Chains A and B, each alone.
Chain A
Amino acid sequence: MEIPILKQRDYLIASVQSVLTDEDLTNLRDRLVQQVGRFRSQGVILDVTGMDVMDSFAVRTLRDLAHMIRLRGATTVIVGIQPEVAFAMIQLGLRLKDVPTALDLEEGLAYLDRNKGKRTLPNHE
């Protein structure tokens, strides 16, 4: 099942409403990474409200997705992680290193707006 990717101003929004197979996930990752370049987006919001289960592969794919998008010049925020999923992730030691998260879509947009153009270089700090 192909997850729709919506373009909203400078941002791309992808909302996951059901359980995804590994293939769906990598497919979503590839499309997002590609479209960030095409639309010159500044940020990506990935809404995972619909994901009731997240295994290690899913977490790793999301983390890679965020890092790849970072390398392509945009910021990814993952929003809507379910409480049970969050708890399971911590218990299993699955971390989303360096990836910002927010409660829901609204918070995610607010985070991106706040951090717009706020990247600093080591030599310029």
Chain B
Amino acid sequence: MAEGNRASTTETDANRVGTESSEWVMQSLEEGQLSSARAKHYPRRQLKRSETLLFWGLRIYLLFMLGVVVYQVWTRTQ
């Protein structure tokens, strides 16, 4: 597509492009690929008890292991 098809911006809405370009862009992209689609949110997933426990377990694992790293750095500097 020629550079000229990139519509000029306006003072009121610098982010929006012209109608002609809009139609061409919407034919080229899937709906979810448009930047405006980012305003949409996927709904929150209901976590099962086992999933929550897994998340917490891994979080505690990470915090504990970071403590081990700090301990190793401390012992090496001593």
Note whether A and B form a binding pair. no
